[in-house]
């Protein structure tokens, strides 16, 4: 493998606290009860619009001005400045080890590109990534294969030499339709049992990731 593409939320970083803060500010403004962290965490994974939709649905009904509410959420989320967002255990060390071994690193997320890059910059790892493809890239969002394949292309390697790392059923489905091996991080925001998510390997701590990648077959499974 010559490139590793990562999901962001629930994989490399725990961002649920900032997302909850923005969600609850939006709920309060609409006269709705606040949501606990576990509830908001369950809503993460398909982009901000779906998260906001799920928050309102959980609280009773969808507003008529949902697009405006999504835009407001994005402003509130930016105002949090990602101050509660941090690495998953061992993720930073694993990223630096992979980059030092000349592995091309990419990021493929349904989060908009600007906040995704803001998180990378705040955590001082933006320079490690050769490619960042966000949910506002103009391509279909995950689980469509197009953003993942575009990210691999920007990394400068063929799909047969890339692997995708994520934490969710959406990530597993994205890798499958793109034809890439999927490595499942088991301690993220996953909903549902591991057996329901097709994966080449699973790992519970990022300290194990470089070894897991080295253990993958040299040839792509589809070859």
Shared domain check, 72 and 40: yes
Do 68 and 90 lie in a common domain? no
Structural domain of 31: 16-79
Per-residue pLDDT band for 61 (boundaries 50, 70, 90) equals confident
List 7, 18, 112, 171, catalytic entry? 7
Task: Examine the domain organization and report whether 200 and 96 are in the same domain.
Answer: yes
Q: What is the CATH number of the domain that holds 127?
A: 3.40.50.1000
Span 142-196, pLDDT tens digits: 999 999 999 999 999 999 999 999 999 999 999 999 999 999 999 999 888 888 8
* Structural domain total, the chain: 2
47-75 b/e with 16+ CB inside 10 Å = b?
A: bbbbbbbbbbebbeeeeeeeeebbebbbe
For the residues of 130-167, what is the DSSP string, one character each?
Answer: SEEE-TTSSSPPTTSSHHHHHHHHHHTS-GGGEEEEES
Same domain for 62 and 114, yes or no, is no
Q: Is residue 219 in a domain?
A: no
- Each residue's pLDDT tens digit, 1-15: 999 999 999 999 999
| Active-site residue flag, 7 | yes
Please indicate, yes or no, whether residues 103 and 9 belong to a single structural domain of this protein.
Answer: yes
- Rounded Cα gap, residues 37 and 219, in angstroms: 41
The most confident of the ranges 43-57, 89-103, 208-222 is 89-103
- Measured in whole angstroms, the distance separating CA 132 from the mean position of its chain's CA atoms is 11
Which of 40, 55, 79 is where one domain is finished? 79
Give residue 218's pLDDT. 55
Contact 166, 187 (CB under 8 A): no
């Amino acid at each position: 493998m010559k490139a590793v593409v990562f999901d962001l939320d629930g994989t490399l970083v725990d961002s649920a606290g900032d997302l909850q803060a923005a969600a609850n500010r939006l709920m309060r403004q609409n006269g709705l009860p606040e949501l606990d962290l576990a509830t908001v965490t369950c809503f993460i994974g398909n982009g901000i619009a779906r998260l906001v939709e799920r928050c309102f649905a959980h609280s009773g009904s969808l507003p008529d001005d949902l697009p405006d509410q999504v835009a407001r959420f994005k402003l509130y989320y930016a105002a949090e400045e990602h101050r509660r967002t941090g690495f998953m255990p061992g993720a930073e060390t694993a990223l630096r080890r992979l980059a030092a071994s000349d592995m091309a690193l990419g990021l493929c997320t349904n989060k908009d590109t600007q906040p995704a890059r803001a998180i990378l910059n705040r955590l001082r790892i933006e320079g490690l990534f050769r490619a960042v493809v966000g949910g506002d890239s103009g391509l279909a969002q995950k689980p469509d294969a197009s953003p993942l394949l575009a990210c691999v292309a920007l990394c400068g390697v063929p799909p047969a030499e890339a692997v995708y790392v994520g934490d969710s059923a959406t990530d597993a489905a994205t890798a499958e339709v793109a034809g890439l091996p999927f490595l499942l991080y088991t301690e993220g925001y996953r909903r549902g049992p591991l057996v329901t998510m097709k994966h080449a390997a699973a790992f519970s701590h990022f300290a194990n990731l470089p070894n897991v990648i080295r253990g993958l077959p040299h040839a792509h499974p589809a070859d």
